[in-house]
């Protein structure tokens, strides 16, 4: 699952990914502990006492407490609530405890399940057709679809629309609760084009779910929030659920907190009624929905869905491999468990917004459902899911018995290349070959790990025994990859074969960097064109290229940050760079966008973006040769420490490094910086540097520490 709201520069904020990895590394131990005996392999009996004990133990652990301020959870089975509890504070400052019956949370993308349920109600009534072009219900919508195939309602439900990514923007979250943005207006202002054949590939798609909500609104003839109240919430007795943050729900909303447990200011969303992520609810209310869904759509004398519709919503509609399913109508695959993959017997939905995370998972054949929500964005739910399954239903965590598979080395070459995430293309994985028939996958978050082939187009990694799958076309060409760490709920596209440039042959010292950027689409892939590798890069070009790499778009301003930006093609990017503190100009009102940028200036711009993440204490002892201005020393040391450079940098005999700081940056050198920024595991490198620095400091302190006994009793003391 991916967050509903994606921060602007995730490449420089890897904390969540690192936390997910830490959890993945711990999961095998959890799984093993649950299967040490035959009795354990069957799992504990799930009843009121064991469910309550499980929740108390999980949320009472010190590891869990660090990941929430307040949390609410409910476990249901066989039409009954087994456990429903709150933990911690809905408002820490005023010591207001979480109440699972009344404390309201934003459930973020769990809202999508409710949008799907509403749409399926209308399918039952014949007001919507699954194979209908969605524009049948949204008239006069202007967007480009170059394929001879419409985007259907089913595509919206299964996140296979082929739309260009349109995630919520930072300005969609605002402290202005008076602002009203209609769904229809938002859609028309932000409608994406279709860039992949509809139905061909899965990509988690917030905009698709918003369109689905608008279809529900138009096909039903009711405002979306009213339809949900009349046809979902009221029949189920969900008295504390809505899509409008007003009145009692606003009063009952849990205060939201940062990862440091600092209070966040409340915010409104756009559109004001947000089908894809704006639902407000309580653990008790979600428990009522789970009971009805697991009961074939019925709640007492009320029914929200037919049994046939519920069954259709439990069926996975796409997969890259049977062990790695994607989505149903309204649900997504669970987190992978080592050796087991993602069970198709379990359907889930997770969600994230600033200051909140949620997770709902249902096991229909066990008539069991669990929902958890908490007022701090993070991956606490991942651990809860893994531990719950291992404790009560370890059969879904049991490693799959794979038949012996003999990988053919000559067939591995087709997987080699660079892959960029469909949703966040700056998340890049590189795959190469290794001896003994294995692949090696590497990225900037985790670093390299081996992939061993265990089935057609399926590999298991050497780190946590989780699966990576590939999708091929009819001719056997690799198109997409699905891996378990960086974006487990989406696909990464394999880059094109790089054509090189007329002036950059395969033996060029920077060919690997330049060709990789070609493959990933950052450079023109035309072998007849010139790249001009020795040409210098201007300040404006560098700013635009770096921010474009980070998926940032420029901003216009009536008051430009610098006097010499008017009419310049890079002006919007320079304006943004100034806004985020990446550039400061010369202090006299000019930026000089057409002036060649020096290597130290380029280093400082990156340093200003990530210095808080990589404090200088870990690399301040790097000795510099050559000339570097004082204001650039830490930035240059950081670039060297994190290995963000090309072959132009080599250590001197004495271990010092000449960064050639005052030289102008060339296009080839810029390509090396951009490529290494995408692919170098900087967090891992920095952690090692910090550990070494800490160890050295401790050794120095111990050496300088006074002896435990008085010096007079130690004759050799000095």
**pLDDT, tens only, 385-441:** 999 999 999 999 999 998 888 888 888 999 999 999 999 989 999 999 976 678 999
What is the per-residue pLDDT across 444-455, written as a single tens digit (0 to 9) for each? 999 999 999 999
What was the pLDDT predicted at 709? 30
**For residues 362-374, average pLDDT:** 99
Ordered domains of the chain (ranges, CATH): 10-396 (3.40.710.10), 421-494 (no CATH), 511-693 (no CATH)
With a CB cutoff of 8 Å and minimum separation 6, the contacts of 536 are 596, 597, 664, 665, 666, 667
Distance CA 512, CA 518 (A): 10
Per-residue confidence band for 697, with pLDDT thresholds at 50, 70 and 90: low
What was the pLDDT predicted at 302? 96
Residues in the chain: 718
Helix, strand, coil % in the chain, rounded to nearest 5: 35, 20, 45
| pLDDT tops 90 at residue 534 | yes
Of 429, 325, 335, 440, give the one whose Cα is nearest residue 381: 335
What is the per-residue pLDDT across 103-129, written as a single tens digit (0 to 9) for each? 999 999 999 999 999 999 999 999 999
Distance CA 620, CA 259 (A): 28
What DSSP assignment string belongs to 563-632? Answer: TT-TT-TTHHHHHHHHHTTS--TTSSS---TTSBPBHHHHHHHHHHHHTTTS-GGGTTTPPEES---GGG
**For residues 225-230, average pLDDT:** 98
| pLDDT tops 50 at residue 573 | yes
**For residues 187-209, average pLDDT:** 97
With tokens 């892939």, the residue in question is 525
What was the pLDDT predicted at 711? 30
| pLDDT tops 50 at residue 30 | no
Per-residue confidence band for 487, with pLDDT thresholds at 50, 70 and 90: confident
Alpha-carbon separation of residue 652 from 105, 215, 623, 628, 689 (angstroms)? 57, 65, 10, 16, 20
What was the pLDDT predicted at 20? 42
| pLDDT tops 90 at residue 457 | yes
Question: If you ran DSSP here, which 8-state letter would residue 189 be given?
Answer: H
Per-residue confidence band for 41, with pLDDT thresholds at 50, 70 and 90: low
What was the pLDDT predicted at 714? 27
- Tokens for 618, please give them: 């870990």
What was the pLDDT predicted at 4? 32
For the chain, what percent of residues have pLDDT higher than 90?
83
For the chain, what percent of residues have pLDDT higher than 70?
90
CA atoms within 13 A on the CB side of 188: 9
- Contact at 8 Å (CB) between 357 and 377? yes
Of 341, 293, 603, give the one whose Cα is nearest residue 466: 341
Least confident of 79-93, 276-290, 453-467: 453-467
What Rg value do the Cα atoms of the chain yield, rounded?
Answer: 27
- Contact at 8 Å (CB) between 480 and 320? yes
| pLDDT tops 90 at residue 585 | no
Per-residue confidence band for 10, with pLDDT thresholds at 50, 70 and 90: very low
With tokens 């004990």, the residue in question is 53
| pLDDT tops 80 at residue 16 | no
- Tokens for 631, please give them: 């204001």
The pTM (predicted TM-score) of the whole model is: 0.89
| pLDDT tops 60 at residue 140 | yes
What is the per-residue pLDDT across 267-321, written as a single tens digit (0 to 9) for each? 999 999 999 999 999 999 999 999 999 999 999 999 999 999 999 999 999 999 9
- Does residue 271 have a cis bond before it (omega within 30 degrees)? yes
What was the pLDDT predicted at 486? 87
What is the per-residue pLDDT across 321-353, written as a single tens digit (0 to 9) for each? 999 999 999 999 999 999 999 999 999 999 999
């Amino acid at each position: 699952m991916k967050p509903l709201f994606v921060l602007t520069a995730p490449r420089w904020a890897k904390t969540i990914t690192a936390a997910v990895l830490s959890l993945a590394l711990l999961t095998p131990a959890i799984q093993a502990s649950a299967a040490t005996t035959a009795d354990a392999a069957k799992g504990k009996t799930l009843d009121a006492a064991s469910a309550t004990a499980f929740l108390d133990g999980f949320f009472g652990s010190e590891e869990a407490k660090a990941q929430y301020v307040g949390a609410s959870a409910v476990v249901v089975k066989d039409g009954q609530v087994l456990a429903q509890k709150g933990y911690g504070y809905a408002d820490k400052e005023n010591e207001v405890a979480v109440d699972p019956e009344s404390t309201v949370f934003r459930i973020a993308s769990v809202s999508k399940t409710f949008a799907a349920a509403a749409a399926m109600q209308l399918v039952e009534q014949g007001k919507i057709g699954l194979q209908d072009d969605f524009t049948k219900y949204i008239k006069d919508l202007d967007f480009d679809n170059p394929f001879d195939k419409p985007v259907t309602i089913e595509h919206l439900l299964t996140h296979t629309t082929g739309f260009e990514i349109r995630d919520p923007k930072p300005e969609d979250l605002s402290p202005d609760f008076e602002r009203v943005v209609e769904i229809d207006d938002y859609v028309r202002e932000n409608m994406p084009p279709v860039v992949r054949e509809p139905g061909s590939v899965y990509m988690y798609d917030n905009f698709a779910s918003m369109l689905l909500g608008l279809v529900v609104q138009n096909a039903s003839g009711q405002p979306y929030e009213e339809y949900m109240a009349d046809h979902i919430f009221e029949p189920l007795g969900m008295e504390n659920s809505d899509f409008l943050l007003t009145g009692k729900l606003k009063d009952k909303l849990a205060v939201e907190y940062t990862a440091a447990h600092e209070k966040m200011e409340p915010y409104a969303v756009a559109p004001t009624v947000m089908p894809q992520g704006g639902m407000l609810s309580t653990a008790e209310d979600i428990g009522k929905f789970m009971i009805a869904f697991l009961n074939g759509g019925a709640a007492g004398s009320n029914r929200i869905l037919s049994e046939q519709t519920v069954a259709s919503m439990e069926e996975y509609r796409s997969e890259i491999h049977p062990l790695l399913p994607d989505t149903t109508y309204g649900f997504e695959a669970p987190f992978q468990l080592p050796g087991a993959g993602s069970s198709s017997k379990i359907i889930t939905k997770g969600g994230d917004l600033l200051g909140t995370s949620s997770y709902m998972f249902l096991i229909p054949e066990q008539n069991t459902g669990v929902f958890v929500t908490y007022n701090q964005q993070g991956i606490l739910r991942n651990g809860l899911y893994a531990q719950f399954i291992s404790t009560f239903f370890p059969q879904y965590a049991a490693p799959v018995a794979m038949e012996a598979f003999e990988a053919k080395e000559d067939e591995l070459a087709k997987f080699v290349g660079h892959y960029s995430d469909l949703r966040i293309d700056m998340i890049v994985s590189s795959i190469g070959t290794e001896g003994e028939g294995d692949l090696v996958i590497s990225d900037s978050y985790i670093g390299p790990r081996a992939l061993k082939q265990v089935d057609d187009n399926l590999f298991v990694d050497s780190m946590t025994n989780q699966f990576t799958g590939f999708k091929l076309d009819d001719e056997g060409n690799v198109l997409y990859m699905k891996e378990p760490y960086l974006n487990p709920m989406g696909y990464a596209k394999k880059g094109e074969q790089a054509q090189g440039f007329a002036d950059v042959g395969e033996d060029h010292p920077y060919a690997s960097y330049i060709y990789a950027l070609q493959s990933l689409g950052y450079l023109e892939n035309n072998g007849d064109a010139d790249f001009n590798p020795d040409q210098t890069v201007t300040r404006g070009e560098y700013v635009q290229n770096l921010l474009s790499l980070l998926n940032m778009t420029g901003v216009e301003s009536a008051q430009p940050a610098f006097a010499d930006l008017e009419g310049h093609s890079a002006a919007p990017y320079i304006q943004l760079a100034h806004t985020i503190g990446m550039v400061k100009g010369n202090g006299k009102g000019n930026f000089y966008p057409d002036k060649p940028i020096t290597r130290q200036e380029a280093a400082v711009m990156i340093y200003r973006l990530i210095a808080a993440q990589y404090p200088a204490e870990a690399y301040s002892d790097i000795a510099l040769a050559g000339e570097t201005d004082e204001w650039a020393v830490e930035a240059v040391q950081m670039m060297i420490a994190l290995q963000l450079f090309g072959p132009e940098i080599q250590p001197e005999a004495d271990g010092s490094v000449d960064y050639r700081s005052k030289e102008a940056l060339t296009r080839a050198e810029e390509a090396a910086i951009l490529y290494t920024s995408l692919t170098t595991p900087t967090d891992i490198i920095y952690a090692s540097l910090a550990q070494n620095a800490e160890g050295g400091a401790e050794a120095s302190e111990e050496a300088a520490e006074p002896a435990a006994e008085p010096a007079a009793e130690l004759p050799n003391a000095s």
